[in-house]
């Protein structure tokens, strides 16, 4: 089982990363919050990994730190929440806010995440309310990412998460008006608007 990868960030896109480890490329899925905090393409990166074995495939999920990985592990332990849904939940709001929402039983905040209905939110709270208090909060900065038309890429990433295109577009435009200029900043600011 792969538990950690250290290498060079070869590809950085909201849909997934490619980490080059001594000539071998590993495709890694990450939350948008983790994506926003990763370094630029070509720089060294080290990420904790959760390895998910399926019938005929192997998926790698990467995290900023052990606290985000721990929260992911807690989420996939909840009935009806698979790895991709857990990644969507982690993308829906910063880890610290997610932990607070779960600990305080804030159903409304959780239902604001695409794909999370009232029943799922209630189940998450019942199963995780006591456990999340042990998870340390994520506290990371968001370096810039190079690329053309970051606003359009941000909208695409948000739509892939389940937000409606109109909402995603409005949130991205608002983020740019507030001064966000690169993809990571636009996504981060848009998520604040959409989950607010």
Do 93 and 53 belong together in one domain?
no
Asked whether the beta carbons of 176 and 182 are under 8 A apart, the reply is no
Burial of 183 (0-12, 13-18, 19+ CB in 10 A): buried
Asked whether the beta carbons of 166 and 185 are under 8 A apart, the reply is no
Specify which residues 5 forms β-bridges with: 47
| Residue 58 domain boundaries | 4-62
| Domain tally, the chain | 3
Q: In CATH, what number is assigned to the domain containing residue 159?
A: 1.10.8
Which residue bears the tokens 């739509």? 159
Do 77 and 58 belong together in one domain?
no
Do 46 and 79 belong together in one domain?
no
Do 78 and 124 belong together in one domain?
yes
Whether 166 maps to a domain, the answer reads: yes
What pLDDT does residue 173 have? 87
d(CA 113, CA 96): 15
What pLDDT does residue 144 have? 35
Tokens of 157: 């990433």
What pLDDT does residue 139 have? 35
Asked whether the beta carbons of 142 and 111 are under 8 A apart, the reply is no
> Of the candidates 134, 168, 187, which is a domain's last residue?
134
What parts of the chain have a pLDDT lower than 70? 133-149, 196
Do 43 and 14 belong together in one domain?
yes
Asked whether the beta carbons of 37 and 31 are under 8 A apart, the reply is no
Q: Express each pLDDT in 54-108 by its tens digit.
A: 888 899 999 988 888 989 999 999 998 999 999 999 999 888 889 888 988 899 9
Do 158 and 170 belong together in one domain?
yes
Whether 34 maps to a domain, the answer reads: yes
Do 129 and 92 belong together in one domain?
yes
What pLDDT does residue 147 have? 37
Whether 31 maps to a domain, the answer reads: yes
Do 164 and 110 belong together in one domain?
no
Do 104 and 76 belong together in one domain?
yes
Whether 140 maps to a domain, the answer reads: no
What pLDDT does residue 133 have? 57
| SS3 state at 27 | strand
Residue 123: phi, psi to the nearest 5?
A: -65, -40
> Of the candidates 13, 30, 62, which is a domain's last residue?
62
What pLDDT does residue 63 have? 94
Do 52 and 90 belong together in one domain?
no
Q: In CATH, what number is assigned to the domain containing residue 26?
A: 2.40.50.140
Whether 106 maps to a domain, the answer reads: yes
């Amino acid at each position: 089982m792969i538990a950690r990868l250290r290498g060079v960030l070869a590809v950085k896109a909201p849909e997934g990363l490619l980490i080059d480890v001594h000539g071998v490329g590993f495709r890694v899925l990450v939350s948008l919050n983790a994506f926003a905090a990763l370094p630029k393409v070509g720089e060294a990166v080290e990420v904790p990994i959760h390895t998910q074995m399926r019938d005929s495939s192997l998926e790698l999920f990467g995290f900023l730190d052990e606290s985000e990985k721990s929260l992911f592990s807690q989420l996939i332990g909840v009935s009806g929440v698979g790895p991709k849904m857990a990644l969507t939940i982690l993308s829906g709001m910063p880890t610290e806010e997610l932990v607070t929402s779960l600990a305080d039983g804030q159903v409304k905040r959780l239902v604001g995440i695409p794909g999370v209905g009232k029943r799922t939110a209630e189940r998450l709270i019942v199963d995780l309310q006591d456990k999340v208090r042990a998870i340390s909060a994520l506290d990371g900065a968001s370096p810039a990412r190079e690329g053309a038309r970051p606003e359009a890429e941000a909208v695409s990433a948000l739509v892939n998460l389940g937000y409606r295109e109109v909402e995603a577009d409005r949130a991205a435009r608002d983020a740019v008006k507030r001064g966000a200029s690169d993809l990571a900043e636009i996504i981060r600011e848009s998520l604040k608007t959409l989950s607010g």
